Every structure is written in structure tokens, then in C-alpha cells.
Amino acid sequence: MKPLYLVALLLPEPALSEVWALKQEVHQRTGSRNAVRLPPHITLIPPLRQSPDFEQKARQALAAFAAAQRPFGVGVQDFAWFGNRTLFVRVTEDEGVRAFHAALQAWCATQLPEVPRETRPFTPHLTLATRDLPAEQVPELRALFAARAYAATFQVAAFQLFRHDGQQWQVVQTFALTAEQVSQGFSPG
């Protein structure tokens, strides 16, 4: 079977630990395991199966993309649901991540055409539980998270390529966003 890949933004600390604790809590309350198989992240390219030679090509293309990108800010706040099966933390300050995602999609269209064009609108979020969430526990979980508040802001300075090893997702490579900031004002002539 072809390897399974994913491109995502891992959260920096302390947001990583805070959201990981929320994912662990949902797992302990409900037994849901899907969301705890991967650390807190914002998916940029959903899981896709590719031939083994895809990985090296993806590493090169994503490294070149990262070198042309600058870090950006993200804000998250409170909780929401996709239907009755996916609980997530809402990304509320999303201009930077939306622009980054659009640039990545455009880059992949020309530099990594193996990545299929997305057909669904991009909705940045941090999944806490999905798919295997027991239906009978959803009403209690909805009430619990409706009564809670959570907020964080952070700088995104890298993104990751993951490969599934058959048991869990593993980081294959981290790509630092290293483009120089465009200087404002006076420049020596």
C-alpha cells in the first residue's frame, strides 16, 4: 500500500501543551482515539496516499516554498463542531493562515502537482475529537465545551510534513519559514 502523507502546522508552546491537554481530556472522557494520534495542528494538505518517491520530491518542493514565506500570527478561541462527530478549537484570527494555505495550494499546483486540488473550502481548526466519538456522549460533550472558554495567540514559524507509519503520524521534516522581512522606509541607494 502506498504511504499516507499529511502537511500541517504544529502549534508552538504553550498552545501545543494546552490543546494537547484538551485532546487528552476528551479521550479520557469518551474513549475517542482518532484525535490523540496526532499532536495539535492545523491541517494544510489533508491525508493523501502517494508513491514512495513522492516524499523526496515533497521535501524539496516544500523546502523551497518555506524559504519564500514569512512567519505569521494565528489566534484561536473557544470551541465548535462539524456536525455531531468533530469537536474543534476555532481559529478566529485566520488571515495569515488562510493566505499561507492559498500560497501553498498555488505552489503545489505548479511544483507538486501530485497534491490534488482541494474541493472543500479551507476551514482552519484544531481537532479535539473526530469520527470515533461515541454518539451517545456527544450531548454531554457539547454542553461541557459550550460552557468553557479557551483562547491563545501564537506565531507560526514552521510547518511539517508527516507520514503515517501504520500506527501513528510521524514528522518527516519541519520546514522553517525563512523569507526576509520586507524593510519599510529608507533603504540606502
pLDDT digits (tens, 9 = 90+) for 5-35: 999 999 999 999 999 999 999 999 998 887 7
pLDDT digits (tens, 9 = 90+) for 106-158: 999 999 999 998 888 999 999 999 888 899 999 999 999 999 999 999 999 99
- How sure is the predictor about 164, in pLDDT bands with cuts at 50, 70 and 90? very high
* 46-69 as b/e: b if 16+ CB within 10 A: eeeebeeebbeebeebbeebbeeb
CA nearest 177: which of 77, 99, 88?
A: 99
Give me the pLDDT at residue 181, please.
56
Q: Is residue 76 part of a domain?
A: yes
Q: Is residue 184 part of a domain?
A: no
Whole domain around residue 31: which residue ranges?
Answer: 4-176
Q: Give CA–CA dist 131/159, Å, rounded.
A: 25
Q: Is residue 187 part of a domain?
A: no
Give me the pLDDT at residue 37, please.
82
DSSP string, the chain: ---EEEEEEEPPTTHHHHHHHHHHHHHHHH---GGGGS-SEEEEEEEEE--TTHHHHHHHHHHHHHHT---EEEEEEEEEEETTTEEEEEEEE-HHHHHHHHHHHHHHHHH-TTSPPP-SPP--EEEEE-SSS-GGGHHHHHHHHHT---EEEEEE-EEEEEEE-SSSEEEEEEEE--PPPPP-S----
Helical axes 138-146 vs 15-30, angle rounded to 10°: 150
Q: Is residue 165 part of a domain?
A: yes
Q: Is residue 189 part of a domain?
A: no
CA nearest 123: which of 155, 72, 76?
A: 76
What's the pTM value of the predicted model, to 2 decimals?
0.90
Q: Is residue 186 part of a domain?
A: no
Q: Is residue 77 part of a domain?
A: yes
C-alpha cell at 88: 474543534
Count of domains in the chain?
Answer: 1
Q: Is residue 171 part of a domain?
A: yes
